[in-house]
């Protein structure tokens, strides 16, 4: 059965309008997913990527693969590439599920002997799901949705200290124009200062912990409510990211514009800091992370401030994460608003074995603190089957949505994630 699945994946690659050798691999800007069931007026969730996050587990994947030996794969014919690709994918073993990964990393990375560019990694990320919405009024809805079609070009300049990224989102959009949303990541960065990375261009700032996380490591089909309202949106600016054993941080100044809709409607500061008290105990007592951040600025003269706090702990096969956010106005994925809003979420994980993980989450959100009895609560349970790590993953989610201002509803989601 697995062999058949891999053949179908390779068939999908070769049937795309882009040739296999031109295929692009993705990072993390997933397309807008519909917000869970009853989030009226909210822009659906979108994907995120690795390179845009201060969390230390993401630093290792920000590197373009260093290919020091000649690639015999480049001498193969197209038919031989497809055949060998099927074989390589079948044999591929990926055990680290904490970072994004892809099925054809070596095959889609090109090293150059001359010129300013040392290597280029081209990849594509796809996310899709089938969902069944069950509402109390009997208005059920079954939907298949291609949530993400992201194309990436990750490049490393000669010398290995500077990189660039171009990320194109070709997922069909309803709320913004195609060209407006097309360019997501568009930046260059340098690592000439030890333990630091300085980035200039369009990227995803750290607004909240989950809100700045990679879409390719998300535990569920949809982000938490605070993440999809306050964060997970890209802006143009300058960022300084530092990573040390006991602390990491991401500080940046940006234009408050999003999706290239306006020219500098105001300035914005986004900052996040993580403290890791147990980092030097070699995991004997587990891993503890305490984080906090602020996103504040002006847009057309209107102030906004989002403050967030995070705590995460893991020990062997168990993990738990909690996050709280309070907004006096916000400038995230759901759009700019001056409303006062807040929310919090708790997620627990248990790794049943190397391939299967069980996850539960409680998620509460107040969309307007000036109005009483309007909170939205989501209770989610899910299973993630890591067939090939995060590069090929199946998810099954059940969501019970309890809305104080509307009828309750349920959702069952079966999804697939593929990164080539």
- The predicted model gives 185-209 an average pLDDT of 95
Q: In terms of residue numbers, what domain contains 71?
A: 2-124+150-348
Residues 149-182: tens digit of each pLDDT: 999 999 999 999 999 999 999 988 777 778 888 8
Instruction: Assess contact for 384 and 395: CB atoms under 8 A.
Output: yes
Structural domains in the chain (count): 1
- Residue that wins the pLDDT comparison between 49 and 282: 282
Model pLDDT, residue 54: 38
Residue 367 placed within a domain: no
Under the banding of pLDDT at 50, 70 and 90, the label for residue 9 is: very low
Question: Going by DSSP bridges, is the β-strand pair 287-299/196-203 parallel, antiparallel, or unpaired?
Answer: unpaired
Instruction: Assess contact for 227 and 39: CB atoms under 8 A.
Output: no
Model pLDDT, residue 213: 87
Q: Is the pLDDT of residue 41 over 50?
A: no
Residue 160 placed within a domain: yes
Residues 297-310: tens digit of each pLDDT: 999 999 999 999 99
Model pLDDT, residue 75: 64
Q: Is the pLDDT of residue 138 over 90?
A: no
Q: What is the mean pLDDT of the chain?
A: 83
Residue 375 placed within a domain: no
Model pLDDT, residue 86: 78
Q: Is the pLDDT of residue 238 over 60?
A: yes
- In whole angstroms, how far apart are CA 256 and each of 48, 249, 252, 270? 18, 21, 12, 10
Model pLDDT, residue 45: 34
Model pLDDT, residue 85: 72
- Residue that wins the pLDDT comparison between 378 and 407: 378
Under the banding of pLDDT at 50, 70 and 90, the label for residue 391 is: very high
- The predicted model gives 80-85 an average pLDDT of 73
Q: Is the pLDDT of residue 48 over 70?
A: no
Q: How many CB atoms lie within 10 A of CB 301?
A: 7
- The predicted model gives 332-345 an average pLDDT of 94
Q: Is the pLDDT of residue 59 over 50?
A: no
Tokens of 31: 């397309």
Residues 108-135: tens digit of each pLDDT: 899 999 999 999 999 999 999 999 988 8
Residue 138 placed within a domain: no
- Residue that wins the pLDDT comparison between 38 and 274: 274
Instruction: Assess contact for 39 and 167: CB atoms under 8 A.
Output: no
Residues 264-311: tens digit of each pLDDT: 999 999 999 999 999 999 989 999 999 999 999 999 999 999 999 999
Q: Please tell me the distance from the alpha carbon of residue 147 to that of residue 151, in angstroms, as a whole number.
A: 13
Residue 139 placed within a domain: no
For the ranges 8-12, 166-170, 211-215, the maximum mean pLDDT occurs at 166-170
Residue 373 placed within a domain: no
Residue 369 placed within a domain: no
Residue 394 placed within a domain: no
Model pLDDT, residue 365: 97
Q: Is the pLDDT of residue 40 over 90?
A: no
Q: Is the pLDDT of residue 26 over 90?
A: no
Sign of dihedral through CA atoms 48, 50, 55, 57? positive
Phi then psi for 414, rounded to 5 degrees? Answer: -120, 115
Model pLDDT, residue 327: 97
Q: Please tell me the distance from the alpha carbon of residue 322 to that of residue 347, in angstroms, as a whole number.
A: 6
Angle between helical axes of 78-91 and 2-15 (0-180°, round to 10): 140
Q: What kind and span of H or E run contains 271?
A: strand 267-275
Find the largest Cα–Cα distance for the chain: 66
């Amino acid at each position: 059965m697995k062999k058949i699945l891999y053949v179908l994946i390779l068939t999908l690659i070769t049937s795309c309008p882009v040739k296999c050798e031109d295929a692009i691999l993705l990072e993390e800007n997933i397309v807008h997913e519909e917000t869970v069931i009853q989030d009226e007026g909210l822009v659906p969730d979108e994907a995120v990527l690795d390179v845009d996050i201060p969390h230390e587990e993401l630093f290792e994947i920000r590197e373009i693969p260093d290919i020091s030996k000649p690639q015999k794969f480049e001498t193969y014919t197209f038919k031989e590439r497809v055949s060998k690709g099927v074989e390589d994918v079948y044999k591929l073993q990926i055990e680290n599920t904490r970072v994004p990964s892809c099925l054809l990393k070596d095959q889609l990375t090109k090293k150059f002997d001359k010129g300013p560019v040392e290597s280029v990694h081209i990849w594509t990320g796809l996310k899709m799901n089938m969902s069944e919405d069950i509402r109390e009024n009997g208005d059920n809805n079954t939907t298949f949705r291609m949530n993400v079609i992201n194309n990436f070009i990750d490049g490393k300049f000669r010398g290995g200290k500077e990189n660039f990224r171009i990320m194109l989102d070709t997922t069909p959009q309803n709320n913004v124009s195609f060209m407006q949303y097309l360019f997501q990541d568009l930046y260059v960065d340098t690592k000439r200062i030890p333990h630091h990375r300085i980035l200039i261009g369009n990227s995803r700032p750290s607004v909240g912990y989950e809100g700045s996380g990679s879409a390719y490591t998300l535990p569920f089909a949809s982000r938490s409510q605070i993440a999809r309202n306050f964060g997970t949106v890209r802006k143009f600016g300058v960022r300084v990211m530092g990573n040390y054993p006991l602390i990491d941080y991401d500080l940046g100044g940006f234009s408050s514009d999003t999706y290239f809709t306006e020219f500098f409607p105001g300035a914005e500061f986004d900052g996040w800091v993580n403290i890791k008290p147990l980092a030097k105990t070699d995991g004997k007592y587990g891993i503890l992370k305490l984080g906090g951040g602020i996103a504040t600025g002006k847009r057309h003269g209107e102030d906004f401030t989002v403050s967030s706090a995070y705590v995460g702990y893991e020990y062997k096969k168990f993990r738990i994460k909690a996050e709280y956010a309070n907004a006096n106005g916000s400038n995230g994925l759901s759009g700019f608003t001056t409303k006062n809003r807040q929310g919090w979420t708790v997620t627990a994980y248990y790794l049943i074995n190397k391939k299967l993980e069980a996850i539960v989450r409680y998620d509460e959100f107040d969309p307007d603190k000036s109005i009483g009895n309007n909170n939205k609560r989501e209770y989610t349970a899910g299973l993630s089957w890591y067939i090939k790590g995060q590069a090929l993953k199946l998810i099954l989610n059940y969501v019970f949505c309890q809305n104080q201002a509307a009828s309750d509803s349920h959702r069952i989601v079966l999804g697939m994630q593929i990164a080539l």
